[in-house]
Chain A
């Protein structure tokens, strides 16, 4: 970063760095997450409630060709990631419509810091939710045969998904007219995993829905996680598709977010 100019009061401002600004923004977002009960509920508690429901209520009726808990955990991990997105979109839109982003823009603050803060805090929140799902799953009797490398790879997949979905969500938050509209905009992202192999195997679905489930973005991500958590090598096809979808969504979200940020804010 270039050095920042001396402020008018004569206090020499140390070089403001994009990283430093992003850390300050992240701290702000973390405070938001912790203080907003809706966010905590949506992002962390609701996925756990869903897990209890699917495993103890519906799970008995679902044939997966094995232990249902073991089948459901990877899918629920992905759902935990997407469930936390709604509050992010709302918050980003709040920042935009209430003038907070404009305030930052008139200051000598790194341009993208406020967006980076939202994306990173969303990613961290998603990761906490995913860890909570796995933790509760373990308490319910989920046993994984994954080795350390496979756990690490699974963590990488979750991080990549959360980061990509985070950018896409931030873009939606910037593009929406109102905070409520922004929250609504993420509903498709939250609904998509229901129409994937997350909780029910795709080949048990009706024609049409089945094809959709097989080719939609979340299925390869979930299948890759499922392979990793059961200690298998993920199939190359699923892994490549998962990476391509995540990177594609991430790039799309990033470009969309930056363009909207320049135009609207």
Chain B
């Protein structure tokens, strides 16, 4: 148990009689990226707040590097770094002064060297002497993360670190996360972007209405849903009906006038499929090859979870 960087069992948190987290269990291995995926309001930020000692859990245990978040708050805080959903930077200080504030509070030795190194790493050296009020959103996020890294915390929490960032800043963030993990840091990341979890996470959980509806590696989760298939949309019902009879394994999609045909996505099976259509003089209006991504996982899992919740 204690070898896990983060160990959560039976975590519950309610506001009034509304359960925000309804019994959550997971473990994060040291030096890995763990991603919590979920839509707005699923309970991601509440989870981060409990794990980072901002909120006390109602029930369950949470251990960070072996320290209990209820009883060993100081040890937990000395271990972690947190970057919240909105850049928590001091507007009336410069970039360098913000980092200096963190270094002072953490009593970091040789602070000047640490600060210069962080500024360089986050490409903020040129703006280091400017007040934060002149920074762009992306620069604020980068500075926020740089502040979190002062003092080299071994476990880092990132709550939706790329929400609202442009694609280039987003890639920079991803690169930094990869570097951190390569250095041995454990990263707990919440996101509503499926490609982000897919790109970064070693393991991920899907959170919906305060419950984990799935957990595993991105690959494992992708395996839980239908494989690669081809979608064909036809002009009318008659054509769709004949397509369903001539194409092996074809099923009518929930979308109207669309047939879903399983296949491996290779050129050979595609040619066979098109040949069969040609033999019967059938033309599809629209044709697409669909490979599963986390979007499918997510929709399949949360869709299911939602109907279950309604049925109860």
A8's contact among B90, B102, B152, by CB below 8 Å, is which?
A: B152
* Given A5-B78, A8-B79, A9-B151, also A102-B88 (CB < 8 A): yes
B246 on interface, CB distance cutoff 8 Å: no
A residues less than 8 Å from B104 (CB atoms): 24
* Given A31-B93, A103-B88, also A7-B54 (CB < 8 A): no
Closest residue on chain B to residue A36 by CB atoms: B92
A residues less than 8 Å from B77 (CB atoms): 106-109
A227 on interface, CB distance cutoff 8 Å: no
Instruction: Please state if A106 and B82 are interface contacts (CB–CB under 8 Å).
Output: yes
For the complex formed, measure the closest distance between the CB of A3 and the CB atoms of chain B, giving whole angstroms.
10
Stretch at the interface among B12-20, B106-114, B160-168, B191-199: B106-114
B91 on interface, CB distance cutoff 8 Å: yes
Stretch at the interface among A11-19, A41-49, A152-160, A207-215: A11-19
For the complex formed, measure the closest distance between the CB of A184 and the CB atoms of chain B, giving whole angstroms.
20
Name the residue in A2, A28, A31, A35 with the highest tally of chain B Cβ atoms < 10 Å from its Cβ: A28
Name the residue in A36, A102, A107 with the highest tally of chain B Cβ atoms < 10 Å from its Cβ: A107
B residues less than 8 Å from A143 (CB atoms): none
Instruction: Please state if B78 and A103 are interface contacts (CB–CB under 8 Å).
Output: no
- Give bound CA distance, A28 to B131, whole Å: 13
For the complex formed, measure the closest distance between the CB of B57 and the CB atoms of chain A, giving whole angstroms.
15
Chain A residues touching B, majority SS? loop
- Give bound CA distance, A98 to B78, whole Å: 22
B52 on interface, CB distance cutoff 8 Å: yes
Closest residue on chain A to residue B72 by CB atoms: A5
Instruction: Please state if B153 and A8 are interface contacts (CB–CB under 8 Å).
Output: yes
A151 on interface, CB distance cutoff 8 Å: no
- Give bound CA distance, A21 to B107, whole Å: 10
A235 on interface, CB distance cutoff 8 Å: no
A142 on interface, CB distance cutoff 8 Å: no
- Give bound CA distance, A109 to B78, whole Å: 9
B39-51 near A? 1/0 per residue, CB < 8 Å: 0000000000000
B101's contact among A5, A7, A28, A35, by CB below 8 Å, is which?
A: A28
A104 on interface, CB distance cutoff 8 Å: yes
A177 on interface, CB distance cutoff 8 Å: no
A residues less than 8 Å from B54 (CB atoms): 102, 105-106, 265
A residues less than 8 Å from B107 (CB atoms): 13-14, 16, 20
* Given A7-B78, A98-B86, also A106-B52 (CB < 8 A): yes
A100's contact among B79, B88, B106, B154, by CB below 8 Å, is which?
A: B88
Instruction: Report, as a range, how many residues of chain A touch the other chain.
Output: 20 to 34
- Give bound CA distance, A142 to B54, whole Å: 53
- Give bound CA distance, A103 to B80, whole Å: 11
For the complex formed, measure the closest distance between the CB of A86 and the CB atoms of chain B, giving whole angstroms.
16
Instruction: Please state if A106 and B80 are interface contacts (CB–CB under 8 Å).
Output: yes
- Give bound CA distance, A104 to B53, whole Å: 11
A residues less than 8 Å from B91 (CB atoms): 94, 98
A residues less than 8 Å from B9 (CB atoms): none
For the complex, count residues of B whose C-beta is within 8 A of A: 37
- Give bound CA distance, A106 to B65, whole Å: 15
Closest residue on chain B to residue A94 by CB atoms: B91
B105 on interface, CB distance cutoff 8 Å: yes
A98's contact among B53, B74, B88, B106, by CB below 8 Å, is which?
A: B88
For the complex formed, measure the closest distance between the CB of B121 and the CB atoms of chain A, giving whole angstroms.
16
- Give bound CA distance, A13 to B79, whole Å: 12
A4 on interface, CB distance cutoff 8 Å: yes
- Give bound CA distance, A130 to B53, whole Å: 41
* Given A28-B93, A100-B88, also A11-B108 (CB < 8 A): yes
- Give bound CA distance, A6 to B131, whole Å: 33
B residues less than 8 Å from A36 (CB atoms): 92
- Give bound CA distance, A161 to B101, whole Å: 30
- Give bound CA distance, A35 to B93, whole Å: 9
For the complex formed, measure the closest distance between the CB of B109 and the CB atoms of chain A, giving whole angstroms.
6
- Give bound CA distance, A11 to B114, whole Å: 13
Instruction: Please state if A100 and B152 are interface contacts (CB–CB under 8 Å).
Output: no
A248 on interface, CB distance cutoff 8 Å: no
For the complex formed, measure the closest distance between the CB of A121 and the CB atoms of chain B, giving whole angstroms.
12
- Give bound CA distance, A121 to B155, whole Å: 34
A99's contact among B79, B84, B155, by CB below 8 Å, is which?
A: B84
A233 on interface, CB distance cutoff 8 Å: no
For the complex formed, measure the closest distance between the CB of B238 and the CB atoms of chain A, giving whole angstroms.
59
Instruction: Please state if B152 and A9 are interface contacts (CB–CB under 8 Å).
Output: yes
A32's contact among B82, B89, B92, by CB below 8 Å, is which?
A: B92
- Give bound CA distance, A7 to B77, whole Å: 10
A residues less than 8 Å from B85 (CB atoms): 99
- Give bound CA distance, A25 to B101, whole Å: 8
- Give bound CA distance, A94 to B88, whole Å: 10
B27 on interface, CB distance cutoff 8 Å: no
- Give bound CA distance, A32 to B97, whole Å: 12
B: residues with CB less than 8 A from A are 52-54, 65, 74-75, 77-80, 82, 84-93, 97, 101-102, 104-109, 131, 147, 151-155
Known: A11-B109, A31-B93. 4 other contacts (CB 8 A): A7-B79, A9-B152, A9-B154, A32-B92
Would you give 6 A-B contacts (Cβ < 8 Å), ordered by A? A5-B75, A98-B88, A99-B85, A106-B77, A106-B82, A108-B106
